[in-house]
Amino acid sequence: MARLDRLTGPVEKVAPRLLGAVVRSGAVAIRLTEVEAYAGVGEDEASHSHRGRTKRNAIMFGPAGHLYVYFTYGMHWCANIVTGVEGTASAVLLRAGEVVDGLELAIERRGARVPEKDLARGPARLASALGLDGSANGLNVLDPASPVRLTLRSRAVKEFEAGPRVGVAKEAERPWRFWLPGEPTVSPYRRR
């Protein structure tokens, strides 16, 4: 299927293709404005899959198009979309986006006092706005029957910027964060 083809290949090539794509979870839909690429075993020290398969990252080793949702800092969920062919264990972290549907529900989940632009500005915020948690781990976002779905743009955006990833201790210099310039929903860069 064409959509699956677009999620295969080197993760740093796949990641920008997700910019402008829309992730829908029930009533809430988010247009992605910022993503980050993480490669597979032995290729990327910042990736969860770097040291091989564990219970947590097992989804990353599966086929492309599945959600990898993990729990971190004892309180936050972050969502990735697995890319590459089965066994590659690369994934793209959904870092930020713009709520384009289900605004009321997103506000309810994130708090009434949160500015609209901050609803999904940051990976844990994005997952929260979509209502994603551990139960969404492993869902196939290309499956029309899935509660969480990904809609790619018919054409990938041509204009995007790339820079260092946020919050990683290792491989900080690798410019694998991609974002849409000028978007107010892009999260601020923070060096770890």
Tokens of residue 14, six digits = 């796949």
Q: Smaller CB distance to DNA: residue 158 or 167? A: 167
For residue 187, state whether it binds DNA (rule: CB under 7 A).
yes
Interface pattern 121-160 for DNA (x via CB under 7 A): -xxxxx----------------------------------
For residue 32, state whether it binds DNA (rule: CB under 7 A).
no
Tokens of residue 38, six digits = 């993480």
Task: Please identify which residue in 93, 99, 130, 141 interacts with DNA, judged by CB under 7 A.
Answer: 93
Measure the CA–CA gap between 103 and 30, rounded to whole angstroms.
10
User: How many residues sit in the footprint of DNA (CB under 7 A)?
Assistant: 38
Least distance from C-beta 36 to DNA, angstroms? 7
Q: Which of residues 69-88 bind DNA (CB under 7 A)?
A: 70-76, 78, 80
Contact region with DNA (CB under 7 A), list: 5-13, 100-108, 118-126, 151-159 = 118-126
Measure the CA–CA gap between 47 and 45, rounded to whole angstroms.
6
- Per the CB < 8 A criterion, the answer to whether 96 and 111 are in contact is no
C-alpha distances in Å from residue 173, one per residue of 44, 51, 94 = 12, 20, 19
- Per the CB < 8 A criterion, the answer to whether 3 and 106 are in contact is no
For residue 3, state whether it binds DNA (rule: CB under 7 A).
no
For residue 51, state whether it binds DNA (rule: CB under 7 A).
yes
Q: Smaller CB distance to DNA: residue 57 or 140? A: 57
Contact region with DNA (CB under 7 A), list: 3-11, 46-54, 135-143, 154-162 = 46-54
- Per the CB < 8 A criterion, the answer to whether 53 and 46 are in contact is no
Which of the 8 DSSP states describes residue 7?
A: T
- Per the CB < 8 A criterion, the answer to whether 160 and 178 are in contact is yes
Report the DSSP pairing between strands 22-25 and 76-83.
Answer: unpaired
Least distance from C-beta 153 to DNA, angstroms? 23
Decide: helix, strand or coil at residue 60.
helix
- Summarize as ranges the residues that interact with DNA (CB under 7 A): 36, 38, 46-48, 51, 54-57, 60, 68, 70-76, 78, 80, 91, 93, 110, 114, 118, 122-126, 166-169, 187, 190, 192
